[in-house]
Structure 1
Amino acid sequence: MQINPGRTIHLETFKDILKNSGPRKNVNSCILIGAPPVKKKLLTIGISSVQHPQRSYLLDTLQSLFFASSPSERKHILVLVHLADPDTKWLNQMVSNISSLFKPYIQTRQLVVINTPLKNYLPLRDLKKTFNDTHTYVAFHSKQNMDYAFLMNFATNHSDYFLMIGDDVKCAPGFVTQIATVLSAWEYKPYVILEFSQLGFIGKLFRTKDLPRFVNFLLLFYQELPCDYLLSHFIDLLKQNKPIQFFPSLFQPMSNYSSFEGKFNSLKGKELKENDIGPPNNPAASIYTSLKTANDSLLMNAYSLDENFFYSVGAKAGSHLTVVLDVPAKVIQVQVLTGSGPKWENQLKEGQVELGYDSFNRNNDCDGYILLGLLVNGILNKQVLSEESGKKVKCVRLLVTATVPSEIVVRHINLWVR
């Protein structure tokens, strides 16, 4: 039967079929590299990869993923790669490359690579054509649906959430923290998926408890439609009325070619364009700190737009520097720079930046904070991820998370407000 949102009788039938779905025990996916984590993680990041006619970007994607996340962020994720091409030569080469390039992440159980033998796949011959697609394309998207289904089936028990990305994407720095912040805010809200990219199947996040139903859905209708169309129908089936999208996109394609026969694809998401938002426009604010000021350094230097810096003699875990805006504003980007000199000495390497909101009109603080991101090499430069409309920010807090015995320098706290 053809899926159609208007055929509610069929949709209700499918809902009953899927209600008690569990992981498929008869799928014999095997581990090629690594071992699953001993304890359940927050997030599994799933990648399904096959040979590309132009070139493979899988290794670039993995490098971008690990470089865009800090050591503390990587403790909360599992990267799961499904090598889904039956070509033995390609498979062995990819296993060799991944094993040598990403050994540290394999040893810490942060990277697992799997393969699913072809005997587990449903028939790929005599598939029915839909929408006048060629037999070759129908076979391609039918196999791709099963590739994704077997990947998600393996991922079901290893984390609380599952994020699907492509095998040719670039990841935004700090994307793990940004996603974790959203998950905290949406923990008790109903949704089927959250979208961290607007392109196809990239950046789609599920609760893992929903994966078995979607796995079965993909396998029930594997030959009907491509996966992103099936996902749209699955969302309708579970009554999510509209997309829940977050901007800017955290994942961008590295190439303009799809996996299918080198087909050109000019789609682009709403990228983070650091150079087109102009200079920071720090609004009027007061500055408060529990840091010990060095010599005659002025606290306001940390927030000024000139070249003056703020110096502090040591910092205890839990100490802070907080910018409190005179008038709450919609903050679209935050930049925190620490350290000085040609080698950037005196950086604050163990710290995080939080956004504060105020419901009670407090004078010098906020009554609630959410994590924006962790400092990486003493720096944070991040757009504020929001849904269609974000609350106005009153406080921006730099929080020290581990005691620093030496001097630290806060060069700039820069805000862009709209």
Structure 2
Amino acid sequence: MFGRHFTKFLIFAIVFNVFLLAVFSTLNSISVFKRTTSILKPGVSEQILVVELNRTEPYIVPKLHQNPQAALLETEPAIEFKRIKWPGPFEFKGEEIISQSLKLATQNNSTNVTEYVIGITTITRPGVSYLHNTLRSLINGLGDFRNVTIAVYIGEEEPEDVKLIESGLQGDFASEISSGLIKVISPPENFYPDWNEELRQSFGDSFQRVKWRSKQNLDQIFLMTYTYYLNPKYYIMLEDDVLASNDYLSKINADAEARADENYVMISYCQLGAIGKLLRREILPSMSTYFRLFWADKPLDWLMLDYMKSRVCNDSKGDKDCAEKLKEIEIVYKPSLFQHVGLTSSLEGKIQKLKDKNFKP
């Protein structure tokens, strides 16, 4: 009698444990889905989150760069798809950057092959402008090198201010714009966010300074994306208040081509901030995506350094090892080929006296 009751109890216990295991497994699958959606960060404006219920990790398929296997995954009934729409500024910094930049890049009035894109972001400064002198210096230093485009991004928030800068450029550089040597672009009117809603003060900076540096990041993101669709070999990041050395582009081209087989991320032809930084075209998508994640958190040159650290630095090996690794991927060219000349900053009230001591005209 006791044996029969014990057998029944044992069977019941086994069945009950199997039932509990199934319940916990289902709950775990749901928690995995919730957990993965909460930790995803907006590298693009919209992603397809693919969760296979019998897996512990999801597939993540960016909408703008669709995985070739995604079509096969969609046919499997055990997979659930959920579209994640990122709110706020990530909406206009995602697909709108891509579509607007692609549209601008394809409106090319020149059939010339562009090997280099020199990118300049500009806005009005209180009482002074350095842009036209910067452009003249760049054009004079080209020599016979002509497979280059100088892209001028007007980062003004008001349409009338954009038109004012554009008309000035048309007046002084009509032939260069007509030939396609200079291209003047600006973002759509709704590109910039509500700064009061999106920004927080950090590093002891005033709100105006945080806005200034954050806007620089957004401007550079747009310009880098535009450059990518021009399909150059190299991108040179500049500011609108610099002086170029004589025959600078021939020197850059000789140096860059000599390093064609090197695994660098960036070559610095100026040792100040974000001036004179050469990037290969294939770096632009990942770097601009990194900027899109942290555009409101740090200045542009800090984000560039963080991006490179994330590629090569191992936290467990310390700062010294990291510094050595960074030297391998950021090449510093001497003497510098660009000099910062602007005294009045685009940040109202700021005087900028920085000079590159390694510059030679």
TM-score by length of 2: 0.66
The amino acid of 1:138's aligned partner reads V
Q: Any conservation in 2 of the 1:19–1:213 contact (CA below 8 Å)?
A: no
Q: Any conservation in 2 of the 1:83–1:91 contact (CA below 8 Å)?
A: yes
| Deviation of 1:20 (Å) | 10
Distance 1:222 1:272, change over 3 A: closer
The amino acid of 2:345's aligned partner reads S
The 5 A counterparts of 1:277-356 are: none
The amino acid of 1:68's aligned partner reads G
| Deviation of 1:52 (Å) | 1.0
Cα deviation, 1:206-263, whole Å, max 9, x if unaligned, reads: 1111111111111110110010100110111122522311111111122223221131
Alignment pair present for 1:45 and 2:115: no
| Deviation of 1:26 (Å) | 2.3
Residue in 2 that maps onto 1:251: 338
Alignment pair present for 1:147 and 2:232: no
Residue in 1 that maps onto 2:72: none
Residue in 1 that maps onto 2:353: 266
1:200 is paired with a residue whose SS is coil
Q: Name the CA distance, whole Å, in 1 between partners of 2:221 and 2:112.
A: 23
Match of 1:66 among 139, 144, 152: 139
2:334 is paired with a residue whose SS is coil
Residue in 2 that maps onto 1:125: 196
| Deviation of 1:270 (Å) | 2.5
CA RMSD between the two structures: 2.9
Residue in 1 that maps onto 2:326: 241
1:224 is paired with a residue whose SS is coil
| Deviation of 1:77 (Å) | 0.6
Q: Name the CA distance, whole Å, in 1 between partners of 2:277 and 2:360.
A: 22
The amino acid of 1:269's aligned partner reads D
Match of 2:256 among 183, 190, 198: 183
Q: Any conservation in 1 of the 2:244–2:339 contact (CA below 8 Å)?
A: yes
Residue in 1 that maps onto 2:17: none
| Deviation of 1:119 (Å) | 1.4
Cα deviation, 1:105-151, whole Å, max 9, x if unaligned, reads: 22221111000024123442231221121111111111111011101
Q: Any conservation in 1 of the 2:336–2:358 contact (CA below 8 Å)?
A: yes
2:233 is paired with a residue whose SS is strand
Residue in 2 that maps onto 1:160: 233
Alignment pair present for 1:85 and 2:170: no
Q: Give aligned pairs, total.
A: 260
The amino acid of 1:135's aligned partner reads F
Deviates most, 21-30 or 118-127: 21-30
1:113 is paired with a residue whose SS is strand
The amino acid of 1:145's aligned partner reads N
Q: Any conservation in 2 of the 1:46–1:79 contact (CA below 8 Å)?
A: yes
Distance 1:214 1:138, change over 3 A: same
Q: Any conservation in 1 of the 2:338–2:359 contact (CA below 8 Å)?
A: no
1:165 is paired with a residue whose SS is strand
Q: Any conservation in 2 of the 1:192–1:238 contact (CA below 8 Å)?
A: no
Q: Any conservation in 2 of the 1:52–1:262 contact (CA below 8 Å)?
A: no
Q: Name the CA distance, whole Å, in 2 between partners of 1:163 and 1:118.
A: 26
The answer for unaligned runs of 5 or more in structure 2 is: 1-38, 44-58, 66-92, 313-324
Q: Name the CA distance, whole Å, in 2 between partners of 1:19 and 1:211.
A: 17
Q: Any conservation in 2 of the 1:21–1:213 contact (CA below 8 Å)?
A: no
Distance 1:132 1:272, change over 3 A: closer
Identity among equivalent pairs (%): 28
The amino acid of 2:350's aligned partner reads K
Residue in 1 that maps onto 2:170: 99
Alignment pair present for 1:26 and 2:96: yes
Residue in 1 that maps onto 2:270: 197
Distance 1:136 1:183, change over 3 A: same
The amino acid of 1:241's aligned partner reads L
Higher strand share: 1
Residue in 1 that maps onto 2:181: 110
Distance 1:17 1:166, change over 3 A: farther
Q: Any conservation in 1 of the 2:122–2:153 contact (CA below 8 Å)?
A: yes
Cα deviation, 1:246-290, whole Å, max 9, x if unaligned, reads: 11111112222322113112211024457xxxxxxxxxxxxxxxx
Higher helix share: 2
